[in-house]
Structure 1
Amino acid sequence: MSDAPTHDADEFEPVDVFETTEMDLRPGADDCYKCSTCDTSCPVAEVDDEFPGPKFQGPEQWRLKRKEDHEIDDSITSCSNCMRCDDACPSSVPLSQMHNTARGEYVENQRFGREALSALVDGSPREALEIVREGQDGLVERLRNRILANYHTSAWLASYAPSVANFVMNFGPARWAMAKTMGVTSEREFPAFADHTFREWWTARGGAQVSNPDKRIAYFHGCYSNFNTPEVGKAMVRVYEEFGYEILVPPQKCSGTPMFANGMLGDARRHAETNVKNLAAAIENGAEIVASCTSCSMALGQEYPELFDLDGIEDVAAHTYEGVEYLRLHEDLEDALDEASVEGSELAYHAPCHARNQGLDTQAVELFSDLDGVAIEDVGDSCSGISGTYGWKEEKYDYSMEIGEEMFEHMEHADGETGMTECPTCAMQMEHGTGYEIRHPLELLEEALVTGS
């Protein structure tokens, strides 16, 4: 008989080390066995000696919640949200989910914000002013981050006078002032706003040109294809219509990707509420969701259900695809390209980190390798370094260029001077680092299957 002590069930109560919430990540933290594979895959940790890496930012941060006075370390703001750690982890620890929630908590609890407001509510304006003075640098940084994170708003405003916005945003003194006062790097040229947005073009053409309830997709164009590169959205529409699809373009806001990266989870949730509501309605109307940006498809398909509890969110995630991915799954795209040809194109292809997380990093090379008139070369698995808003911050610019150096070198050694990628900010970095023209795979599909047919 065992001599092990027994416990009266009425006397024993387990201790909850972590506060139980709808986003309880303790199981994920417990799955980490500290192999550090995530750290070795992290492009920021490779170039920034002060960044402790994704293992600390994820599982170790959550373990530290055992201490009631633990605060999220400010190094969480140096995570670029490339999500390569998710792809690298052998234990499927939800690292990026941990980083997003930790970053959101850090931003929410910054002293000069919450504590200054509390002091004002308590009738202590002098204390509130002192808190703000102490956190003045952080206040400017937070304002900068909020502007960068809410690109949808600034792009929407710029769309009313795009030529004026393009001049002002790239006017030398204005860029210098933004660098000095807000910390937005002056090393980069701001992307040009299109004369007409994608949605304006869509309305002017009369919407869908194909009616087919059996083949229907809802296009999530995102901010950049709407305001900056509507030609990508137009290519998407024309290619899908070539295959007989009826296209819906529901009302939508930003996917939230830049907001996740800057800890603005409240802003991201507000945008997600609109997107989920309208995309869920499109699903009920027989449509699947297709995005032309891999960061948008990643947000809808992974980050939304990880971070938010909204009605219909699981359906939206389950029915979301990247633009080329959906055609490869549902159409004989390879056969269609076997009969097509384009004028000679030598392409240096970069797979975005968010494409790798979705298992899409090889699809462009596989798809176009046998297309007559195309030579395509994968320039390696390195990160481009820009990671959305990360590379636009003055204090991160040099790091972003150091991360991207391997990609730049591979592009310059590849044949031709044209790059290809699905991610608009990766395209910015590729062009910035090499001077090459950058194309989207959907534009090449349009050339091969629509304009070339």
Structure 2
Amino acid sequence: MSDAERSIDDAPDGSTDEFEPIQVFPEAEEMDLRPGADNCYKCSTCDTNCPVAAVDDEFPGPKFQGPEQWRLKRQDDRDVDESVMKCSNCMRCDSACPSSVPLSQMHNTARGEYVDERMSKRSREYLRNRMLANYRRLAPLASTFPRTANAVMGLSITRWIGEKLLGVTSEREFPEFATETFREWWETRGGNAASKKRAREARAKRGGDADDAEKRIAYFHGCYANYNTPEVAKALVRVYEHFGYEVLVPDQRCSGTPMFANGMLDDARRAAETNVAELAAAIEDGADVVASCSSCSMSIRQEYPELFDFADTETVAETTWDAVEYLRVHEDLEAELAGTSVDDEFDSFAYHAPCHSRNQGLNGQTIEVMSAIDGVDVHDVGDSCSGISGTYGWKAENYETSMKIGEEMFEHMADADAEAGLTECPTCSMQMEHGTGYEITHTLEVLEAALVETGTDE
């Protein structure tokens, strides 16, 4: 069974008592907090678990950014401290807090107020952050001419200009765009009708009746799997069809994770409204929502109900799953994998559990699942943060901090008996590759190699 508890708001002691939400900032009428903001008793557990505070002496830590700042705001008219923009939104403070203080929600709310009221909309920082937060607006253009975009973005002069003009670090190589997006592949393959047919065939092949009760999931692929790593999205489709699931691919926008991290809450609200409406329609049609990116599932499951109150937000949050988690709960995944094997390219990995996966209680599942495949050795490199935290490590002023945070992970990867990496987060994958030179694989790709016959799908 899954390590995750389905109610992500449950208190550490297992209680599920409901509380009335409270407001962090009176002027933010639409942003109510999860229960427990007054429960902080200054134990500083959140600060000791904060990867930014561990390497940046100037960052005051999540306790100040959350309950301390909130208390000041209640007492008199004080501005949000600018240091809130140094928070990486890793959300480790949420899972570390023994009192269920809604720290990341407080940080998200504070960042939104800071950007709205204190950041100049003509500043380089705002323009850079807006661009990074709205990656999905730029990606379609680049994916229209992927080879040209990759060539231009790969030039050192392009990276130099990006740092000088926008403050995007020149130390990192831009991720390449796929020559065919996942959604293009999906439509060419036949879309939902083709998936429904394959699911029926798989049910029949597995000894059941093709007309058995249909199993259906709605796939939230996110931006990166669509434009940059469609092989991950294809792997999800094929693995789920192998188990007899019909896959739906609803219209969708960015999950909002980079928008939350950059204080662009209006952008996040617009994206969330579209996503909730589309996913709610799929749920009404009998589907459960499944995401291949740990940050996407975290955003929909936790941040949406914390910050937004439009119709069906709670329903969508409660019906959203991580892709591997869902199979472990609804199928006997380990038994299915017993006796399977993969090619040598997948024989040994250094595995990093993303912070947003840990916050959902899923940090141990990949090790358990991979151990069922013959010949696959997966080495857990510990609970350290990768340091990149989405857009955080792409900002020039945060690059060195990002790499300092990632040092422990890099060292553990180097010490592991492996020369390839494994993770479920696309930006953690970037950091792992950047810091070690290893090729990084998604867990779903290994499952595909173990379960799906080659040559059975175009």
TM-score, reference length from structure 2: 0.88
* One-letter identity of the residue aligned with 1:316: V
* One-letter identity of the residue aligned with 2:61: G
Tell me by how many angstroms 1:370 deviates.
3.1
Quote the RMSD (CA, aligned, Å): 1.6
Q: Which residue of 2 aligns with 1:4?
A: none
* One-letter identity of the residue aligned with 1:317: A
**Is the contact made by 1:220 and 1:289 (CA closer than 8 Å) also made in structure 2?**
yes
SS of alignment partner, residue 372 of structure 2: coil
Q: Which residue of 1 aligns with 2:41?
A: 33
Q: Which residue of 2 aligns with 1:358?
A: 360
Tell me by how many angstroms 1:157 deviates.
1.3
SS of alignment partner, residue 446 of structure 2: helix
Q: Which residue of 1 aligns with 2:188?
A: 204
Q: Which residue of 2 aligns with 1:264?
A: 264
Q: Which residue of 2 aligns with 1:12?
A: none
Structure 1 runs (4+) deviating above 6 angstroms are none
2:26 matched to 1:19? yes
* One-letter identity of the residue aligned with 1:154: L
Q: Which residue of 2 aligns with 1:140?
A: 124
Q: How does 1:269-418 map to 2 (within 5 A)?
A: 269-344=269-344, 345-418=347-420
Q: Which residue of 1 aligns with 2:152?
A: 168
Cα 1:202–1:450 change in 2 (3 A) is same
In 2, the alpha carbon distance for the partners of 1:293 and 1:286 equals 22
In 1, the alpha carbon distance for the partners of 2:80 and 2:179 equals 43
Tell me by how many angstroms 1:28 deviates.
3.0
2:97 matched to 1:83? no
Higher relative contact order (CA 8 A, sep 6+): 2
Tell me by how many angstroms 1:22 deviates.
4.2
2:138 matched to 1:154? yes
Cα 1:425–1:321 change in 2 (3 A) is same
SS of alignment partner, residue 373 of structure 1: coil
Q: Which stretch shifts more, 53-62 or 166-175?
A: 166-175
Tell me by how many angstroms 1:68 deviates.
3.5
2:58 matched to 1:50? yes
Q: Which residue of 2 aligns with 1:5?
A: none
In 2, the alpha carbon distance for the partners of 1:47 and 1:76 equals 16
Unaligned runs of 5+ in 1: 1-15, 114-135
In 2, the alpha carbon distance for the partners of 1:446 and 1:256 equals 28
Q: Which residue of 2 aligns with 1:180?
A: 164
In 1, the alpha carbon distance for the partners of 2:237 and 2:34 equals 43
Tell me by how many angstroms 1:210 deviates.
4.0
**Is the contact made by 1:219 and 1:291 (CA closer than 8 Å) also made in structure 2?**
yes
In 2, the alpha carbon distance for the partners of 1:387 and 1:108 equals 22
Q: Which residue of 2 aligns with 1:124?
A: none
SS of alignment partner, residue 384 of structure 1: coil
| Residue from 430, 433, 436 that aligns with 2:432 | 430
* One-letter identity of the residue aligned with 1:408: F
Cα 1:225–1:17 change in 2 (3 A) is closer
In 1, the alpha carbon distance for the partners of 2:280 and 2:297 equals 15
Cα 1:18–1:432 change in 2 (3 A) is closer
Q: Which residue of 2 aligns with 1:128?
A: none
Tell me by how many angstroms 1:390 deviates.
0.4
Tell me by how many angstroms 1:451 deviates.
3.0
* One-letter identity of the residue aligned with 1:19: P
Tell me by how many angstroms 1:65 deviates.
1.1
Tell me by how many angstroms 1:154 deviates.
1.0
Q: Which residue of 2 aligns with 1:216?
A: 216
Tell me by how many angstroms 1:26 deviates.
9.0
2:179 matched to 1:195? yes
**Cα deviation code 1:391-435 (max 9, x no counterpart):** 000000000000000000000111121100000000000000000
In 2, the alpha carbon distance for the partners of 1:301 and 1:18 equals 23
Cα 1:17–1:110 change in 2 (3 A) is closer
* One-letter identity of the residue aligned with 1:205: R
Q: Which stretch shifts more, 247-256 or 366-375?
A: 366-375
TM-score, reference length from structure 1: 0.89
**Cα deviation code 1:70-118 (max 9, x no counterpart):** 00000000000000000100001010000000000100102634xxxxx
In 2, the alpha carbon distance for the partners of 1:251 and 1:210 equals 16
**Is the contact made by 1:18 and 1:26 (CA closer than 8 Å) also made in structure 2?**
no
Unaligned runs of 5+ in 2: 1-22, 201-212
Cα 1:337–1:143 change in 2 (3 A) is same
Tell me by how many angstroms 1:24 deviates.
3.6
- Give the number of aligned pairs: 414
In 2, the alpha carbon distance for the partners of 1:216 and 1:26 equals 31
In 2, the alpha carbon distance for the partners of 1:444 and 1:196 equals 21
Q: Which stretch shifts more, 304-313 or 223-232?
A: 304-313
* One-letter identity of the residue aligned with 2:253: K
State the identity %. Answer: 69
Tell me by how many angstroms 1:309 deviates.
1.1
Tell me by how many angstroms 1:168 deviates.
1.3
In 2, the alpha carbon distance for the partners of 1:17 and 1:50 equals 24
Larger Rg: 1
Q: Which stretch shifts more, 68-77 or 381-390?
A: 68-77
* One-letter identity of the residue aligned with 1:223: C
**Cα deviation code 1:295-338 (max 9, x no counterpart):** 00001111001011111111100000010000000001001110
**Cα deviation code 1:113-147 (max 9, x no counterpart):** 4xxxxxxxxxxxxxxxxxxxxxx6xx111100000
Q: Which residue of 1 aligns with 2:19?
A: none
Q: Which residue of 2 aligns with 1:66?
A: 74
**Is the contact made by 2:32 and 2:306 (CA closer than 8 Å) also made in structure 1?**
no
In 2, the alpha carbon distance for the partners of 1:61 and 1:158 equals 41
In 1, the alpha carbon distance for the partners of 2:153 and 2:297 equals 29
SS of alignment partner, residue 72 of structure 1: coil
SS of alignment partner, residue 342 of structure 1: coil
In 1, the alpha carbon distance for the partners of 2:384 and 2:31 equals 31
